[in-house]
A and B are shown apart, each in its own frame.
Chain A
């Protein structure tokens, strides 16, 4: 029972991070029907930048909270710039190209960013400096750290903010209108290029926050971390129904739970044949399952073949 509750907690934490990243996939898909496979790399860049800033400031005598805040601001700023540039340089020239061209380009951008990160930060794992308070709280016999509480709360706050932005503001209306019918949105005076840029920038900001969360949660960051994380967040977006904001949140949290519980019990289930390091297989079982049985996702609408 303790394990069960512990894995639920871990799953919620992991799921919150997946959800933040999945939102980036789903917003871009909703607006322009593109799966931005480079999005995982933006998360990695966020993690790396934040980590570098923290390492730089760790002996500066500033309070931990301020250090984290500066690191976060730097990561968000860099990721926004990266997200904007990716769209501007790689995708905008392909706006009228067949859907396959930007999709392949996305994979190319992902590889380029990974290699650039390797050049800048090296191939080694970077340890997250132990500056965060490690206080633990007991819930029903399981433990949750202050960091985990903070991750879940911040993620929830950001998702609420995003949903308000999309459903209650003029800009959000323009985003939804563009997603529903780009030519008609233009007739209303919406500058589609601006909206698309904005979507990339917002998604990248969420990715930067997620990057810091991941590296803090696992105390580690490296140039390759965005790849698997990106695939899983993409799976989460598909699980919820890609293009659907609420679906990305639901899919992210569900995927986090499935993975955590799966990792917790996989040893028992297979008689010790597979250990918890096989946890990655669950995401892809989920992806295959969704694609076979419910391609439109849990709360997505039926979309015709688009990519």
Chain B
């Protein structure tokens, strides 16, 4: 579904991503793990067209998307839940969800999907008229994921959904991510929390200083001594 070949991202003269190649199959959840500064977020931003790639190709459903405008991706079926959540703080929960559905015009479908999001995150429903800026970090993460789902994406890109959250909240968020994946969503998950990410994914890629150094089935990566030492703190 997503095929990334030789992707490079540079900030000025500094290469953050040095020609990486990976793919995500339809219906699969793939984890991209690595330490802070390994280039994971730059990779996602380049996929979402928030950054210009310095080279390489990104093919999605057979179509080259690395030259699209950022606002065109969502109608292709790609939604990004950005690092740091990026909810609109001065808009209510409902309005944030409606922004997620901005590219759609089917009123009934939008209503049905927001009901679905509220069933995934009952806590959001209780506060639907509250401004997003007044929510806790975990609630904002729920909202960011819910908002991304509102576009009815085919491919969901998640950037560090566990960042800065209490363990209990992380668990809740990951339960929902798992649920969404089980419903058939294709997910690319970028995480520093390697254990968590690999536990919910089918396959994984390990990124180090802008390069992919290791790839395998998630369960095998979890058992890999190198990974255990470097990312699981053993």
Contact = CB atoms under 8 A, between A and B. Distances in A.
A156 interface: no
Interface stretch (A43-51, A176-184, A274-282): A176-184
Nearest to B105: A170
A188 B102 contact: yes
B100 A188 contact: yes
A207 B80 CA distance: 39
A229 B48 CA distance: 44
B89 A180 contact: yes
A186 interface: yes
A240 B48 CA distance: 37
B152 to A, nearest CB: 12
Contacts of A192: 71
A181 B90 contact: no
Given A170-B102, A173-B98, A192-B71, A187 B50 contact: yes
B75 interface: yes
From B48, B74, B95, B102, residue with most partner A Cβ within 10 Å: B102
B50 A189 contact: no
B89 A186 contact: no
Contacts of B82: 183-184, 187
Contact of B71 (A170, A180, A190): A190
A192 to B, nearest CB: 7
Interface string A172-206: 01101100110111111111100000000000000
B99 A188 contact: yes
Contacts of A184: 82, 86, 88
B103 interface: yes
A183 B70 contact: yes
From B71, B75, B89, residue with most partner A Cβ within 10 Å: B71
Contact of A186 (B71, B91, B151): B71
B69 interface: yes
Interface string B19-48: 000000000000000000000000000001
B98 A181 contact: no
Interface string B73-94: 1110001101000101111000
Interface of A: 170, 173-174, 176-177, 180-181, 183-192
Instruction: Sort A-B residue pairs by CB-CB distance and give the 5 closest, nearest first.
Output: A189-B103, A189-B74, A186-B70, A184-B86, A188-B102
Given A177-B99, A186-B71, 13 more contacts: A176-B91, A177-B88, A184-B82, A185-B99, A187-B70, A187-B79, A188-B71, A188-B74, A189-B71, A189-B72, A189-B74, A189-B151, A190-B102
